[in-house]
Every structure is written in structure tokens, then in C-alpha cells.
Amino acid sequence: MALKYEAELKLRPDQPCPRLTRYRQRNLTAFRYLHNEATDADFIPIAKIDGVKPKDKCNKFALSFFVTLAQAAARYDDLVDRLGDRDRAIERYGDHVGRIELSEADGICCDPDSSGHFDLHEAADVDWSNRVDEYFELANKV
Amino acid sequence: MLPDLNNRRARLPREVVFVRELESFEGPILSEYRAARGSAQYVEKWCARADDVTRTLLVRADQRAIVEYLGKRRTMLSLLTEPSDGMGYVIDRRQTETVAVYGVYLDDLPAGYLPKPTVYHDEDLRPEWDIVPQSYLIDENWDAKLFSDIERINLNVSGFAYFTQPDTSRTLPSGLLRMHYDGGFPIMHVYNGIRANLPEAARPKSAAVSAASPGVFTIETPSSTADMVRRALGGLPKSKSAFDAVHAWSRLRPDAAQKVPAVARESLHRLCSLLNVRLDAILQPASGDHEDEAMLVAGKLIASYYRMLWRVVEPSNRAEFVGAKIEKEDPDVSSYDDYDDFGDDDEF
């Protein structure tokens, strides 16, 4: 499968990038932080926002997803505290979670970690418009 | 638009170079930097983003404070505010280009730039490092032998984990399972062989000593080796009863190998499984009387590994391991010193 950032991935220090023993095509329901309503800007990997340093690895070009809504919400609460406040988290990640049916055509995913988070390296021709099936507002933490 | 700050500077007072990200979620949250010249250390926290500009806070830190944070002994807020004496630099960057630098007192930062006081390090946010630091907090009574002992213990467990890793066909170095044990042979020699044969790419190395009292001693371990050791350490708290079951018969002397009980293999299998060890890497294929001997050797090896892992966690009452959080189930780890290396009990 051709990946969207294939040329850039070849320049990362951790080759092969991505490691195909850890990434594979999948069909699954996944959850991602974004704004309501989501735009292309909600699907830009951090490498395209911050640029890359020589030591930056492959996953800077990946998009983050969670396996469940509860896991996404739990991590968001942590990120709010870690960054400083809710406004910082909204600036960086958005204030909603979107439910998206990922298909094998969307790219390749790694296994989720213990927090339910996993990375997706997008396929070259993926189109995210109208892909969010449902939005969940990330409520203020009490 | 990001709010303007007072005390704009032309540049940072010294050049700093990126070392690694400590925490990241779709981009860095907390990163480590050091001075391009000299040994000064810094940490940088993400603060805000607007109009394609990312704002961060850079503050002085020190090795011990960073180690304490990664070991969950210190909050992020404390890491940022205490070693820095509450001063730092706010840096605005557009992609990798620095567009503004401000000298700041942390008390004067806009709301939401500093983390909540309840935030500790979360290993799930730690990016994959090629080299993983295993650090020890050292009290004021340290000496060179303490560092040497810690390095040797880490080499021992790294080597054992490497040669016995599940899903590989590695074996312990030739001869270690085939020794003639009738004259008594201390387990020290097994670990000597393991250390001598551990490939360079898998070896932990002493990396840094901050000899201030109290200080910190850091061993850097290749990530694949560190992962194996982490899995073994993760099994330690649940392994006490499995260890006791092996220890009950693995103390037998070689000439009493025929007394190895029928349940030995089962107890071996259980302890190996908990410590992420491949049983066939330490159990020599054998038949008849030799089967008991092979079982006894395997029992002594895995029991010694269990004790050695505890010594990674608690090498001395002068050093505190901060590489992983281990719930101490066994109250008397220090007594394991009696069995290590020269202990009669581990003579084959």
C-alpha cells in the first residue's frame, strides 16, 4: 500500500519506517480527537505542523486514534492536566471525539497500547471528509 | 494569537540541543535538552499554539530531577519550577524556526502554561527511545564499588534476559549448562559467561554519574534489552510463591540431584513463565539420571535470576532504583545477597 507521507518516512532515522511487523491494515471502529465539525485540519500529523527535527521518528507522521470512547476521554482528561488547562487541550487536539469506521483502505495501524491508543499511517489516497459518524463532546472535567 | 510577554530577548543565552522527548502525544509535551557546550540540562514543556506558532517553556533542570520525574517521584510542576528557581524562557517557533524568545518568571506566565500539580510521568506517553536509561538515586554514602556492583547486576540480568528471551532460539553460552558440577561451581561463573558473551548491541552501559550527594547513577540500556528486563521485573511481584516452590528443591547439592521432586518441571515452568524466560533455554535435554541434574541446574539458574532481578530493584540500601515501579512483595530482599555469586547455596 502506498502511504501518504512515503517520501518523508524514508528520511526518518528509524528505518524501516513504518515497521511492517508492527503495522497492518485493519477494519475497526476508532475514536479521534477533533473539532465539530471536522475538517482536513483535524487530520494533519504533527510533523506537518511542527516540522521535523533530525532525531524525529516515523510516528511523527502518524495520526492518533483510540479503541474506545472511554479511553479517549480518559486520556483527554489527563492531557488537560498535563498541558495546563482545557483551553490548551482544545488548541492542540480539539474539543470533541469523533467515531470513525476505519477500513483497510485507510492505511496501516499498530496495536493499541495499554491506554487504548494506536497510530495510523495514512494511505496515499485517503479522504477524511464525511468520515466522522458521530461526535462526542469532551465535557469539562469536574 | 499568542499573548505578548515582557522581557523579549534576541535569543537564548546559550545554544541548546535537543536530547529526547520525555512525553509526547501527537507531538512533544515535555522534552529534554542540554547545552551545546557544557553539561547544563534543560526541560521544555509545550505551552500553547496559535496561527502556526507553537509556544514552549524552557527551564534549567538537573539529571536527578529528570530521573525523579521519570520515576514518578516528582511532579511535572516540581520538575519545571524547582531546579529552575522559577525562571525560564518562553520560545515561539514556527515549524523549526525560532521567532521569539522571552525571559520569564514562571509565576508570571499566562494561565494554563504550567501543568496541574497532580501530574506525574505517564510511561504510555513516553516515546520509543533507542536507549533506555535505568537510573538509581544514590545517597550520600556512595562509593565506586556501589556503581560497579549496580553495573554488574544490570549486565547479569540483561544477559540472562537476552539469552532466554521467548520467541527466539537463543541459548545460554556454550558450556554453561554442561559444566561438571561435582566439585561445586559457583553461579558467579555462569554470570561471568553470560556477561562475556552478551553482544555489544544488547549491552547496558554506565552512562552518567551525578556524584553530588545525594546523586544519581544512570545505566543506558538498548531498548530491546530494556524491554526484556522490564517484562521480567513486571513479573517479580507475582513470582514469590513460584520462586519458593523452585527454591525448595533447587538448593539441593549436585550429588543429591536424584531428590529433585516430580513436580520440579511444573514449578520451573511456572517461574520461567512469570519471569519471561524460555524454559528450554536453561533446561538441557537429558534422560535418566541426567534429567534430574539438568532440572537441578535449571532450577538453580532461574532461582538465581529471580534473586538477581530483586537486586536490580534494590542493589543496596544506598541506592534506589527508579527505572520501574515494583511492588515489593518480598520483605527481605537483602537476604538474597547471601545467595549471590559466591553463596554456597548456589554452587552446583
Under 8 Å between Cβ of B258 and B289: yes
What ranges in B222-263 are assigned the alpha helix state H? 223-235, 240-250
pLDDT (average), residues B75-102: 96
Helix, strand or coil, per DSSP, at residue B272: helix
What ranges in B32-175 are assigned the alpha helix state H? 63-70, 76-81, 144-163
* pLDDT one-digit tens code per residue, B261-272: 999 999 999 999
pLDDT value, residue B152: 93
Nearest CA distance, A1 vs chain B (angstrom): 23
Q: What is the ipTM of this complex?
A: 0.93
* pLDDT one-digit tens code per residue, B121-173: 998 999 988 888 888 988 887 888 889 999 999 999 999 999 999 989 988 87
A63, A82, A85 member nearest B76 (Cβ): A82
Under 8 Å between Cβ of B54 and B93: yes
Q: B-side interface with A, Cβ within 8 Å?
A: 18, 20, 23, 25-29, 46-50, 52, 54, 76, 93, 95-96, 111-116, 118-119, 122, 124-125, 127-128
- The answer to whether the peptide bond before residue A16 is cis (omega within 30 degrees of 0) is yes
pLDDT averaged per 10 residues, chain A (length 142)? 94 90 95 96 94 90 97 97 95 96 97 94 96 92 52
pLDDT value, residue A108: 97
- The answer to whether the peptide bond before residue A18 is cis (omega within 30 degrees of 0) is yes
Residue of A nearest to B76 (CA): A82
A55, A78, A84 member nearest B18 (Cβ): A55
Question: What is the spatial distance between Cα B300 and Cα B252, in angstroms, rounded to a whole number?
Answer: 9
* pLDDT one-digit tens code per residue, B36-59: 998 899 999 999 999 899 999 999
Residue B337's pLDDT band (boundaries 50, 70, 90)? very low
**Cβ partners under 8 Å of residue B316, min gap 6:** B146, B149, B150
CA dihedral angle for residue A20, residue A22, residue A28, residue A34, rounded to 10 degrees: -100
pLDDT value, residue B206: 87
User: Does the reported pTM lie above 0.90?
Assistant: no
Nearest CA distance, B2 vs chain A (angstrom): 11
Q: Which grid coordinates are listed for B31? A: 522534552
Q: Which residues of A touch B46 (CB under 8 A)?
A: 83, 92
Tell me if A92 and B49 make a contact (CB, 8 A cut-off): yes
B25, B96, B114 member nearest A84 (Cβ): B114
DSSP annotation of B198 reads S
pLDDT (average), residues B214-231: 89
Mean pLDDT of chain B: 87
Residue B208's pLDDT band (boundaries 50, 70, 90)? confident
A46, A113, A117 member nearest B27 (Cβ): A46
